[in-house]
Structure 1
Amino acid sequence: MPTPAPAPATTVTGAPLPVVALPQGELLTVNDKDLPLIKDALGPGVHFKPLRLDLENGEWVVLATFAPGASIPMHYHTGAVDAWTMSGSWNYIEYPDQPQTAGSYLYEPGASVHTLTTPASNTEDTVVLFRISGANVNFNEDGTFHSVLDAALVRHLTDTLSEAQGVGPVNYIGGGAADFTVKQGG
C-alpha cells in the first residue's frame, strides 16, 4: 500500500492554513462492518470489535457485543468511560433499576466500580460502543484481584484471538508512535 501524500499546507482555495496543522494525508476511519467479531474474548458470550487502541494514551474504543446472560467481572475504572447502547439491554448488578437500553448514553467517572450483566431474558445480543480511558481492574466474586484490562491487553487479545479464530489480521486505528526525533548511532 503506498504511503499517502501529506495534506497540503494550504486550504482548498490555496490560502495558507490558519494554524500549524497535523499533516494528515487521509482520514483515520474504520467501518465496523469490515471488522471481525473477536468472539468470547472477555468470557463466554462477551465479544468485541476493536476500533481504536491507543496504548500510549491508555485509551481504547471497542464495539462490544454481549450474548443474553453474559457478564463481565466487577471492575474498578482508573479513568472515565463513555458508553452508547446501540441494541439490546444491560445493567450493572449494583444498579438493577437503571437498565441501559438501545439509545442510552452512560458516562462513568474514573474510580467507579460495578459489575456489568445482560439479562438472560434478552431476545437479542446487546451491542455497546465503549470509549475507555485507562484500565479496568477486575475482581473475582470474593473481591480478590482477577486481572487488568487495558488497551495493551485488548491489543494482545485482538492479535492472538483473531489468529486463533482465523479472522485476522484486524485493521483498527492505533495510537501514537513514541520514538526519538533523532536516531542515535544510526
Structure 2
Amino acid sequence: MAVDPALNTDMMLRSEDIPWVPQGSANVWFKPLRISLETGSWVNLLKVARGGVVSRHRHLAEVEGWVVQGRWHYLEHDWQAVPGSYVYEPPGDVHTLVSDSTDETEPMLTLFKIHGPIEYMDDNGELAYVETAESKLKRYHQYCEEIGTEPLQLVF
C-alpha cells in the first residue's frame, strides 16, 4: 500500500483518526504517523502513562524527539525532558525511558522521528527483538484488524 512517489503530493493525516497501538510494555502506546519502508524510518507519537517504561533499547540510527506533554527521563542519563524539549539521540545510544507523569489524565506524549532500527534488550542485556519500519507497520495493521478498523495509508 505504498503511495506512488510519482504523484508528488502532500500528505495530511488527522492523528485522532489513528488508534493508539499497545507498544508491548504496560501503559505504553504508539500512534504511527508516517512509515517509510524505503528509508527504514518512521514518525510516531509515543504515549506513556503513569508508571510506564519503554524497555532498555539501543538505536542503530539517530532519533529525534519533541516533548508535547508530560515529563520523562532515561535511567541512564541525568536530565529530564519536559514539554517543549527537543531530544537528540545519536546512533548507538542505549537507554530506558521512564514516564515521570503522575496523573493518569495527562500522560507523557512525545513526537519521535526514528531514523532506523531499534534493538530491545532483555534483563540480561541480550538482544530480545529488533523493531524496524516493517515491524512497526505490521504491528499497526494487526492492531487495526484486532479492533475492527481499516488501517490508514501511513507508508509514504
Q: TM-score, normalised by structure 2?
A: 0.88
Q: Is the 8 A contact 1:90 1:126 kept in 2?
A: yes
Matched, 1:139 2:88: no
Superposed counterparts of 1:14-163, under 5 Å:
24=7, 26-38=9-21, 40-95=22-77, 97-119=78-100, 121-122=102-103, 124-163=106-145
Q: Measure the CA separation in 2 of the matches of 1:36 and 1:87.
A: 18
Q: Is the 8 A contact 1:36 1:170 kept in 2?
A: no
Report 1 or 2 for greater relative contact order, CA contacts < 8 Å, sequence distance ≥ 6. Answer: 2
Q: Is the 8 A contact 1:48 1:63 kept in 2?
A: yes
Closer/same/farther in 2, CA of residues 25 and 136 from structure 1, 3 Å limit:
closer
Q: Which amino acid aligns with 2:135?
A: L
Number of residue-to-residue matches in the alignment? 151
Show the counterpart of 1:3: none
Show the counterpart of 1:165: 147
Per-residue Cα deviation, 1:85-125 (whole angstroms, up to 9, x for no partner): 10011110111x31111111101111111111113635520
Secondary structure at the residue paired with 2:145? helix
Whichever of the two has the greater Rg, that structure is: 1
Following superposition, the deviation at residue 33 of structure 1 comes to 2.0
Q: Is the 8 A contact 1:70 1:117 kept in 2?
A: yes
Structure number with higher strand proportion: 2
5+ residue gaps, structure 2, are none
Structure number with higher helix proportion: 2
5+ residue gaps, structure 1, are 1-21, 176-186
Q: Is the 8 A contact 1:41 1:161 kept in 2?
A: no
Q: Measure the CA separation in 1 of the matches of 2:27 and 2:126.
A: 23
Q: Measure the CA separation in 2 of the matches of 1:74 and 1:116.
A: 7
Q: Which amino acid aligns with 2:97?
A: L
